[in-house]
Amino acid sequence: MTQTGQITSIKDPRVAEARELTAASARTRLHKCLLEGSESIVWAIEARLPIEHVFYSASHEHDPVLSQLHQHGIPSYLVSDGILKKISDTSYLVPLLGVARISQALTEPETMGDFVVVLDRVQDHGNIGTIVRTASAFGIRDIVSTTSSLDLFYKKIISASRGRVFETRVQRFQSGGEAIAALKQRGYQVIATSPYARDIQAMAPLQARPVALVVGNETEGIADDIVRNADIVVQIPMSGQVESLNVGVATGISLYELKFRMVLTMLIDYIRSNTGREVNIAGKLILQAFDAQIRKVSDLTGQQAVLLMILVCDQLMTREQVMRDTGALPHELDALLQPLIEKGYIHYTDATQDSIAPTESSERILAQLWSIVERAEQNVLAGFSEQEKAQLREFLKRIQENCTRIVEES
């Protein structure tokens, strides 16, 4: 257990450094930030942010946070309330203050994920924190700034993000033009929002590529040069009585719709170009493994999930095609299809009940299950190199072609 100590001098180097961290320039220079209050300290611990030390008031010497600090080997120092006020530069007491090291900005765009949020001169700290928190909720941890001055470690940003800034990666550029050029070079499709856009974002013609969503300044919106150079410009449909939305709210709506559409678009492309169709043909054991993973989190069987994946790609299938692509036998077909019809995932397109089509519900359940699908495939192909996976797909395709030829000739 790390022993607590006491600091009595305002001139102590640790106190002097902590006082500097109320300024953004010092945070940038020292690559450290000030953690204000027990919540921020707990968030930092949970994010595994390297905390150097914590100052605390005598009134909080039994605070549970101090026990957590001791468990993690983080020094804590008793200081006077006056010193605490000097550190936080406030007239009121913040009883616990910490100093933590923060990572430097990303230097290369290729280290970012497949969905990033671009802040174009967004200024309000509450809005920035809300955007970071919302992005994190959708699994997005990469923020791009069109200015070099973005600092996520203001107290209000940390608070509004509920500490999610501690797990957020940032890349800063000198201008919007520079940011957009770098993102496009790395294969991102840049999406900007505008009330005058032709496309509604729910219908945005996304490609199966990473997405960079640009959100703009509270007053001026997205800069004109970014709008001109965006791959897609979309609008959020609103009632005529509402002129605009708060940038944090608008970002949340856009993230929900665009993230879902991106996952679905990439899912369809993945199924068509990789092992999606070969999985169920490869054999009963693979299907059983897949079935075991799917059943843990949904009311679908593995065979039903495979059928929905293929159907979302093709949009229309006959009963014969269903049997061919799922391996179902004629007497098994109704048992496979009927639960999907009852759950609203598929529907017959004509009175003969010979053709089926997907519903919107099937697209949504597939997007939600995609992480399970990925994990199941990774487990089935564990130990395979990328070259071996490619060879396996090629072998399976050749086997299918040979079998098809034999059947046709017979």
> Considering only 82-91, 97-106, 351-360, which range has the smallest mean pLDDT?
97-106
Query: Is 175 a residue whose pLDDT tops 70?
Result: yes
pLDDT band at 270 (very low <50, low <70, confident <90, very high): low
Domain identity same for 385 and 355: yes
Is 133 a residue whose pLDDT tops 70? yes
pLDDT of residue 220: 83
Domain C-terminal end among 232, 265, 298: 265
Are residues 198 and 234 both part of a single domain? yes
Q: Supply the mean pLDDT for the chain.
A: 83
> Is there a single domain that holds both residue 282 and residue 244?
no
Question: What confidence score (pLDDT) does residue 239 get?
Answer: 47
pLDDT recorded at residue 298: 77
**Is there a single domain that holds both residue 30 and residue 95?**
yes
| Residues 137, 252 contacting (CB under 8 angstroms) | no
Give 25-54 pLDDT, tens digit per residue.
999 899 999 999 999 999 999 999 999 999
pLDDT digits (tens, 9 = 90+) for 369-391: 777 777 777 777 788 888 888 88
Q: Give CA torsion, residues 39, 44, 46, 50, to 10 deg.
A: -150
Asked if 381 and 287 sit in the same domain, the reply is: yes
Q: How far is CA 355 from CA 1, 320, 333, 348, in A?
A: 69, 9, 13, 6
What is the predicted pLDDT for the residue at 394?
84
Q: Does the pLDDT at position 104 exceed 90?
A: no
Q: Is the domain of 115 the same as that of 96?
A: no
Residues 113 and 243 in one domain: yes
Q: What is the pLDDT of residues 319-331, one digit of tens each?
A: 888 887 777 788 8
pLDDT in tens, 334-360: 888 898 899 888 999 988 888 999 888
Q: 127 and 96 in one domain?
A: no
> Are 140 and 80 contained in the same domain?
no
Length of the chain: 410
353 Ramachandran zone, left/alpha/beta (phi>0; psi -120 to 50): left
Do residues 289 and 242 share a domain?
Answer: no
Residue 158: strand, helix, or coil: helix
pLDDT at site 362: 82
Least confident range of 36-50, 168-182, 213-227: 213-227
Q: How confident is the model at residue 108 (pLDDT cuts 50, 70, 90)?
A: low
Q: Compute the distance between CA of residue 341 and CA of residue 206 in angstroms, rounded to an integer.
A: 29
- Number of Cβ within 10 Å of residue 130's Cβ equals 21
Q: What is the pLDDT of residue 161?
A: 94
pLDDT value, residue 276 = 44
* CATH code for the domain in which residue 60 is found: 3.30.1330.30
Q: What is the pLDDT of residue 58?
A: 93
**Which one of 64, 84, 101 terminates a domain?**
101
pLDDT of residue 293: 74
Rounded to whole angstroms, how far apart are CA atoms 115 and 135?
9
Helix H or strand E encompassing 77: strand 76-78
391 and 283 in a common domain: yes
Average pLDDT over residues 48-65: 93
Residue 147: per-residue pLDDT: 92
- Identify the helix (H) or strand (E) that includes residue 96: strand 96-101
The answer, yes or no, to whether residue 332 has pLDDT greater than 80, is yes
Dist. CA 134–CA 209, nearest whole Å: 22
Choice between 332 and 107, residue whose per-residue pLDDT is larger: 332
DSSP for 325-380 reads: HH---GGGHHHHHHHHHHTTSEEESSTT--EEEE-HHHHHHHHHHHHHHHHHHHHH
Q: 163-167, 265-269, 363-367: which range is least confident on average?
A: 265-269
Per-residue pLDDT band for 166 (boundaries 50, 70, 90) equals: very high
CATH number of residue 389's parent domain: 1.10.10.10
**Which residue range is the domain that position 302 belongs to?**
274-409
Residues 15-21 have a mean pLDDT of: 96
Q: Is the pLDDT of residue 261 over 80?
A: no
Percent of the chain scoring above 70 in pLDDT: 87
**Helix 302-314 and helix 333-342, axial crossing angle in degrees, nearest 10:** 70
pLDDT of residue 289: 72
Last residue within a domain, chosen from 243, 265, 287 = 265
| 129 and 247 co-located in one domain | yes
In the predicted model, what is the mean pLDDT of residues 182-207? 79
Q: Across residues 250-256, what is the average pLDDT? A: 77
b/e burial code for range 55-82 (CB count within 10 A of at least 16 → b): bbbeebeebebbebbeeeebebbbbeee
pLDDT confidence tier of residue 280, bands split at 50, 70 and 90: very low
pLDDT of residue 279: 47
More confident residue, 209 or 162: 162
pLDDT, tens only, 285-296:
666 777 777 777
Would the pTM of this model clear 0.85, i.e. be above it? no
**pLDDT value at residue 287:** 66
Domain total of the chain: 3
pLDDT, position 249? 77
